[in-house]
Structure 1
Amino acid sequence: MVQTVAYAQQKKVKDNFNVQIRLEKGDLNKDGLIDKTVITMDTISASVPLRLQIFFLQPNKKYKLVFSSTDVIEPQYVNGVHTKNSIPYFFIEKGFLLMSAEKNDIRYEHKFVYKNGIFQLVKISSVVYDGQNATTETVFDLVAGTRTETLESLDPVKVARKKTKKIMIRPLPTLQNLSTFGDQLYW
């Protein structure tokens, strides 16, 4: 019987997310301390992935990482082709995390609230211009369970149309399980 013992050295993996793209500050968890979101880019990888990190400021004035993901934001390149989609902006307003971006010529906004240790998706909206004379705005309030679609004509003679549909989703989706911001979630 031959016994082989192998010893492996633990190697620290280099973090290639070395370029900061966006930084936003505000109070996300309503504790009176200024938290921050940071988007960084991996400039080594051919797909140029982006990482979203969220930090909560602690009473000792140090930031604690509470969320980190490379799945929320689509990489800049897919199969060697630039996606032409914008890098989303993250805003912190009145305790909400707002993610605003454009994908395939559609403007999206996702609204999250921090509750019980997770970021719950509470509202999605989109605006689409048809390239001619109308825009369609869709707002899905996930808490109330109402999805409203409003077609607005830029022609003053035509009347706007509005459709509302009831859709209840429980449990609410979370930032932790959201993958690629612009997917047609719940449309």
Structure 2
Amino acid sequence: MKKIIVLLLAFTQTIVYAQQKKVKDNFNVQIRLERGDLNKDGLTDKTVIMMDTIDTVVPLRLQIFFLQPNKKFKLVFSSTDVIEPQYINGTHTKNTIPYFFIENGFLLMNAEKNDVRFEYKFIYKNGTFQLLKVSSVVYDGQNSTTETAFDLLTGVRTETTTPLGSGKILNKNIKKMMIRPLPTLQNLRTFGNKLD
């Protein structure tokens, strides 16, 4: 009888542990693939966004791979925290899945959240993807847009409001605030935070 109880307890603990720790992920659908040289070594690296279609929140995973001289890809970044899942509390977020581009050695992330367009610019340095610039564009629903651009290297944050179809500036605010160390893709959790 004692052996049965011990085995039952061990089996129960194994089930609980397996439920707490996801044993196997189900990121089974490729959503986006982008290629380019991210670490400036002349080799074509890649970013991949995969979707887990079995999990009810439909999470998305971003992975970044560097091509090695032996023609094999090495995983240098993997996260399910950068991109918001498609469902929160059973409701579709209606936010777009971001696009990642590789241009001139920079990783660019373009996204839209709550009708606000965002662009993030990262560089790979010292083993991390450091955030250099972030910008957003907001339409006021009437006749003007406000663009906010924050250059994290210089610390200059510029907010410019212009009427639609015109280059005329209605309002322009410039602030300076230094952020050190620079934020990284590794510690960025779900895009779309305000630029305040």
- After TM superposition, the score normalised by the length of structure 1 is 0.92
Aligned residues: percent identity? 74
Residue aligning to 1:61: 71
Corresponding residue number in structure 1 for 2:120? 110
CA distance in 1, matches of 2:171, 2:147: 11
The structure 1 residue matched to 2:25, chosen from 9, 15, 20, is 15
- From the superposition, tell whether residues 156 and 170 of structure 1 become closer, same or farther in structure 2 (CA, over 3 Å): closer
| Partners of 1:175 and 1:156 in 2: CA distance | 35
2: CA distance, partners of 1:170 / 1:157 = 34
Deviations 1:114-136 (A, max 9, x none): 00000000100000011111000
Aligned residues: 185
Instruction: Measure, in 2, the Cα distance between the counterparts of 1:13 and 1:149.
Output: 46
Matches within 5 A, 1:36-115: 36-115=46-125
Query: Are the aligned partners of 2:160 and 2:169 in contact in 1 as well (CA < 8 Å)?
Result: no
Amino acid at match of 2:77: F
Task: Tell me the secondary structure at the aligned position of residue 39 of structure 2.
Answer: coil
Q: TM-score of the superposition, structure 2-length normalised?
A: 0.87
Give 1:160 shift.
Answer: 2.9
Match of 1:147 among 147, 152, 157: 157
Going from structure 1 to structure 2, the CA distance change for 1:98 and 1:156 (only over 3 Å counts) comes to closer
Change over 3 Å in CA distance of 1:59–1:125 after alignment to 2: same
Residue type of the partner of 1:161? N
Query: Among residues 36, 40, 47, which one is paired with 1:26 in the alignment?
Result: 36
RMSD: 2.3
Q: Partners of 1:174 and 1:81 in 2: how far apart?
A: 29
Q: Which runs of 5+ in 1 are unaligned?
A: none
More helix by share: 2
Q: Given the alignment of the two structures, is residue 125 of structure 1 paired with residue 155 of structure 2, yes or no?
A: no
| Higher Rg | 2
Q: For 1:183, give the aligned amino acid.
A: N
* Amino acid in the other structure paired with 2:83: I
CA separation of 1:25 and 1:155: change in aligned 2, threshold 3 A: closer
